[in-house]
Amino acid sequence: MDRMNDTLIDVPRGLTNVVAAHTALGDVRGQEGFYHYRQYSAIDLARERTFEDAWYLLLFGDLPTAEELGAFRERIAAARRIPGPVAELLPAIARLTAGGDVLAGLRMALAAVAAHDGMRPVYDQAPEARTGDAIRVAAVTPVLLAALHAHATGRVPAEPRDDLGQVADYLRLVTGRVPDAAHEHALSAYLTAAIDHGFNASTFTARVIASTGADVAAAVDGALGALSGPLHGGAPSRALDTLDAIGTPDRIDDWITATVRGGGRVMGFGHAVYRTEDPRSRLLREVAQGFGGDRVAFAVQVENRVQHLLTELKPGRELHTNVEFYAGVVMELCGIPRSLFTPTFAVARVVGWTAHILEQAADGKILRPSSRYDGPRAPEPLPARTIAA
């Protein structure tokens, strides 16, 4: 609901199809199966350009020249370093999140980085300073995640390398080896495709917090909290769990039929916006098939059978694979453990979040919707107070 001229206007639950703000960063056209970052197809960017190219585009409005890209990569590399006092905190943070909740650890670590750096509210900053904080938060995020994962698995975190790009260095920090070109491109394609995707829950959360004038890290921490919810960011590992549960091709039909008839959900299928094939799924299927192997062939077989069976079991509903189905396959091929699937998604999405934070900060208007009260009638007289003898 919104309030206009003191009149409350009812809107759909979940704010579905409600325009809450204007953006020049991108759009999702669900009926067409298409989305873009500024003036370029997001899928074309993922296929043909680097992660840093797309990052620069969202921050500055156009793709960089070779000289601009080189300078931007140097700026990112300088922003990756974890401050010494924060590095000293990471083992304790890893112990606190020993159950494997790396995103919870990242929220604490980012807050510590912001405190160490003296990150100021965006309300008090000039645009150049806000952009610097946005780059700092997005650049240090994968390094913090890799360090927390290292502590959780009994290893000593490696230091970031300035000669590697954001994607290659993240893979090296997680796996312990510099990736070859094929694996770097595969993860880069996924991360670039995942940078931004409309006003989803985490992006909208980041914009609401930014609208209050809070600092960049605070807005990103709020977005990470939204991302931690299973309905938003938790499906890549669950899609792989589905492949494991099915196990072999001869079990596909029985497993899917039993799951659907039992009221369960087949993870990795269906999307709130797309009414056709998710373009990110198509991209990542191509990336996975470029590697080949039994795992990829089985995933494709499961996809084909699930779509056929869902047509029979849920007539009238067209369900396709979404980004999570093949994202898990691609990340597994790149050597990323399942506990880092959703955090790796955050490595991409933090670039989109910070771009939205900058755009919202430039708007300067606090997001403050209304609500319609439907509780007991008010005002009621207060009951007389009973005083014990």
Active site residues: 271, 324
Neighbouring CB atoms inside 10 A of 132's CB total 17
Residues contacting 82, CB < 8 A, separation 6+: 90, 113, 140, 143, 144, 147
DSSP state of 321: B
Distance CA 41, CA 48 (A): 11
> How far, in Å, are 59, 237, 261, 297 from residue 302 at the CA level?
39, 16, 18, 9
Contacts by 224-232 with C-beta closer than 8 Å and gap 24+? 224/103, 224/106, 224/107, 224/110, 224/346, 225/107, 226/201, 226/202, 227/103, 227/201, 227/202, 227/342, 227/345, 227/346, 227/349, 228/101, 228/103, 228/104, 228/342, 229/201, 231/201, 232/200, 232/201, 232/202
Distance CA 301, CA 44 (A): 26
Give which of 54, 82, 72 is closest to 131, Cα–Cα: 72
Task: Give the N- to C-terminal CA distance of the chain in Å, as an integer.
Answer: 49
Give which of 128, 21, 7 is closest to 365, Cα–Cα: 21
> How far, in Å, are 52, 55, 139, 163, 225 from residue 63 at the CA level?
10, 9, 19, 21, 31
Neighbouring CB atoms inside 10 A of 59's CB total 18
